[in-house]
Structure 1
């Protein structure tokens, strides 16, 4: 039958064959789609953030992110796609919340089930805009850590474990992997990537997708929303396009095609969804508007050249302004800031987008169709993709989750042990064998430590001052520039140089005792001043204190190799081309560098 924008033209009796499990996903999709009103279809187009209420109840909302009540989302706006915000409660409570959520969804006319998505939840990162701290889930290194190890089998094992943990609590879409290439060393988002090299990133992306989705998308899969097409690494000055000052993506080296290579591998691996980035390409053949509004990118490149027919969901917040932690941030409508939210929606849909991340305004789509600005045929094209994925994932056929089973799966001892070993394996020995210090350390050595939880070191004797110690261990994080708001400071951007006070402090300690410096490399910090000071210099990519100490005491082997070059100076970074890999002059350490304790610096 032909759809109509008027709900009173719907059939009086429903054709329930879309619930018939003997039919394939395409047939079930067509049966359901033919009966839906415009308003019901419009609800599919929006994927907003949702929170879990106390003790697994349905939440009233979250004022910090302007999130309405769950009932308003599902019943008032007829939405059925949500990104779970924040740290999760215990797995059994989350499973109970999921069941309550699906019960509410069943009260709608067709009982369309909710699809729950999540940012990464398996590392120590905690940025509400990009990642969630591990909590109950097993903890693993950051994706840069997997790149440092370089083992596809390990990445697939991680994906399979994460898939099991997600399924146990009802998470069915991973808003990852992030396979941008980090060719601009200052970029704030590279901790969640596989680094600078296209070939390595492509190999690990395939393993990651295979671990989450399996051989094909089905009821045991977690769909992957691979991002950020067509590659978000070459940001001007390394600034991130979450913010207006980072909206430009530049290609001074003419290297646009290099950034597509990992996506070609992801398409071959069958990734189910794609997320374009916020940035707007400057100085290319493509329209100079944000990728989510860019028909030459989404239809011309993604759909036509690569033949991708899965779901395309925008990055979060392209249409409307947002209040985050009390600060107002404009919509990331780069290049189309002059358009109204409704006009932005129309342009994005005309570009080829199926869904809007971080938005909850289906009335804009309804009004655009009623005004003749978007056709019903175009609405059906995207609604079909979104419904088809729900059927392929088995969401219409799933039973309630078992809360007790969730407790046995999420973060179980076996998963945690594998994750802990991977954190240690990713640690990269940059320099060692200086100042007479040999590693691994002997048991009961006296350690002066900064930035280390002393309860994690059962083999050590921690002392209060450097003068009392036989060795010092200092943990640092790669530097970044402070910005004006809380949300901005979740994104580590700006200079890669340590402040002089930090270097002076390390120097003072190293004069008194041989010092091991461990730097969390969420970006490729300028480590040049630390080389003469550190007896051993290590890079970590998301390792808890226990994982670091296991390496220092010889319980685990550090196997990391740098997933990017470490530049020698900030001047070299500034002079490099943002889109070209390995382009900083005379790097301090190059891609693939990594020593072992029995093979110190010559």
Structure 2
């Protein structure tokens, strides 16, 4: 390969959508680069016919005929849109994420896509950050489990299979810690926090076989991730032995100049390649300056060859050299009944019952009249932030109003919008109140549109947008039964109206089968077994508020001033991590240990301790409970979190049924990374409190001693 051809493999350009401004000029530029052998990958182009046309240019007209790698943001569905990733984490069932990935991979690969920029492995404690919707929340253990499941679903056992795509764990690293919740912002973390909080999900992704990793936009300790050799090379490639490739984020290499880290594009190219970036997305600094930098000895020829080899290796693994084209006769044109059923089941499984007083839920299908009110009651825009644009245009979400009518065919169902999703117009509230007064029960569907979450969608105020709270309060004043359904992409502050609402169902942005899944839960066809993967703050001023915070020298004590708290609010969240109700009741017994003491050397050698507990359905209905195990290191050489999730299992039980749930704890569950340079993992002797219950506030515990 010539140097020009090598640099071409490192280049990824954006393809043209089928419609849109600049489409033709973008198409011409991509085709010219492919013909010249100066293009390795294309993103945001799909459709078997379209990708094949471009692939033929690269394979049949370039000198070496190296096939292109087509990538796309397939985040929570291709044609069949599943719930957003944050919602999927609420299921506490990694099988939900795996199913989404399997369906997405089959639909995407059939449409010429080889590679998805997912899963997002970022842990975040920042609900103002719009990309919390794309995350699995605030816990590294839960995020790691879901990240691994998503990778397995996308990639399967053989990337050559025509129903699999390569995964990309993003964003490496610590993007979820962006200051103020503002995208692309600074992150400053200690080595210990980097390794204990932010890195574990990425390690899980690699252990699951993730083919690629994407660098993040943020700085880490003052060094932009795209130029951070400690993260990309020392940790990822050397310590972890990652043999896949690192792709930049959109224009991320060129943005090293804006960071003040590189003086110009040539310096940005040199710094990014040297630090460990292998493929450049959209910006063209390596392609434009690479030959000169190589001649001048400012980039290393061996490093260039390493990057090219990593990219070519994935193309071989995907089977593109043997069969570079998609089968146009097998292209999937949209959701089918089976994938819709999977999306509907997933969405219902992700919903969290936050509150349910006086048996308001489930609703009776025999109810005489139902009012559906709120701006999202008759909305098809419940797909979520990362729905593929073509899918959103062709396959909007099922509307709640329509689904309620189908679920209760004998009921008189009326609709009143009440208010808009944003703005201050309250004139429609009168009609909504009239509808509520005339109905046996009212379903108030409120929240935030998908456009208010996702990338570049930070919010300083995370309450309900516009005057939706006033709609809830007006319905409450009627004195008639009602339930609030929240559709949103982030935790919301709900304190202003929560006391007046007898029942609140967190439905998230549920995807293409949104309305049907919401109706399934509202009418009790599906028991709400989801649990919160992220804390809901009482007010924005509490942020960050998360369950796995570190101990302080003066822990909060109610009524005691000189402790770590607020004068005007309790320090705990409105709804804690792991919280969620059911239509039945459960009793979880005290945890039992297989032994109360274990030598550290035995744990290092692979030994484990079993923690078990019984869970019983004490109610009158079948339902789901999520049994959760938390660990607290009582005393350590660095301050440890007051609790850390180290196991969970979602179980379905009939009335009166009992099951024993078992977890195993090893060295990785009880030890931690220190601040020592290069990373040192330590398992220290001492006491560990083990909590088992149905949320992070569990009180039943046993003590384990490590000797």
Superposed structure 1 runs of 4+ greater than 6 Å apart: 479-482, 575-581
* 1:427 corresponds to which of 341, 351, 354: 351
- Map of 1:532 onto structure 2: 499
* 2:228 corresponds to which of 277, 294, 316: 294
For the residues of structure 1 that align with 2:153 and 2:169, how far apart are their CA atoms? 13
* 2:193 corresponds to which of 241, 248, 255: 255
For the residues of structure 1 that align with 2:260 and 2:543, how far apart are their CA atoms? 31
- Map of 1:154 onto structure 2: 96
* 2:443 corresponds to which of 473, 484, 494: 473
User: Is 1:97 aligned to residue 50 of structure 2?
Assistant: yes
Unaligned runs of 5+ in 1: 1-35, 89-93, 124-133, 283-287, 321-330
- Map of 1:12 onto structure 2: none
Tell me which structure has the larger Cα radius of gyration: 2
- Map of 1:141 onto structure 2: 83
Unaligned runs of 5+ in 2: 379-400, 417-434, 552-563, 565-569, 587-618, 620-707
Aligned pairs for 1:486-565 (under 5 A) are 490-498=456-464, 501-512=467-478, 513-543=480-510, 544-565=514-535
* 1:391 corresponds to which of 288, 312, 316: 316
For the residues of structure 2 that align with 1:347 and 1:299, how far apart are their CA atoms? 12
For the residues of structure 2 that align with 1:489 and 1:452, how far apart are their CA atoms? 25
- Map of 2:673 onto structure 1: none
Shift of 1:578: 11
User: Is 1:382 aligned to residue 307 of structure 2?
Assistant: yes
- Map of 2:385 onto structure 1: none
Change (3 A) 1:555 1:69: farther
For the residues of structure 2 that align with 1:511 and 1:121, how far apart are their CA atoms? 41
Does the CA-based 8 Å contact 1:184-1:238 persist in structure 2? yes
* Structure 1 residue matching 2:372: 3-state secondary structure: strand
For the residues of structure 1 that align with 2:214 and 2:415, how far apart are their CA atoms? 49
For the residues of structure 1 that align with 2:161 and 2:467, how far apart are their CA atoms? 54
Q: TM-score, normalised by structure 2?
A: 0.67
For the residues of structure 2 that align with 1:152 and 1:592, how far apart are their CA atoms? 15
* Structure 1 residue matching 2:537: 3-state secondary structure: coil
Shift of 1:254: 5.8
For the residues of structure 2 that align with 1:577 and 1:239, how far apart are their CA atoms? 22
For the residues of structure 1 that align with 2:550 and 2:211, how far apart are their CA atoms? 29
Change (3 A) 1:196 1:507: same
* 1:222 corresponds to which of 159, 162, 165: 165
Tell me which protein shows more helix as a share of its residues: 1
- Map of 1:306 onto structure 2: 240
For the residues of structure 1 that align with 2:498 and 2:21, how far apart are their CA atoms? 53
Change (3 A) 1:332 1:148: farther
Q: TM-score, normalised by structure 1?
A: 0.78
Shift of 1:488: 9.8
How many residue pairs were aligned? 515
After superposition, the C-alpha distances for 1:66-93 in whole angstroms (9 at most, x for unaligned) are 77643233225721301116xx6xxxxx
For the residues of structure 1 that align with 2:21 and 2:573, how far apart are their CA atoms? 52
After superposition, the C-alpha distances for 1:283-312 in whole angstroms (9 at most, x for unaligned) are xxxxx2211111122112212222212101
Change (3 A) 1:332 1:514: farther
Does the CA-based 8 Å contact 1:216-1:270 persist in structure 2? no
Q: Which has the higher contact order (CA 8 A, sep 6+)?
A: 1
Shift of 1:207: 1.5
- Map of 1:82 onto structure 2: 42
**Superposed CA RMSD:** 3.1
* Structure 2 residue matching 1:302: 3-state secondary structure: helix
Aligned pairs for 1:357-376 (under 5 A) are 357-361=281-285, 362-376=287-301
For the residues of structure 2 that align with 1:159 and 1:103, how far apart are their CA atoms? 28
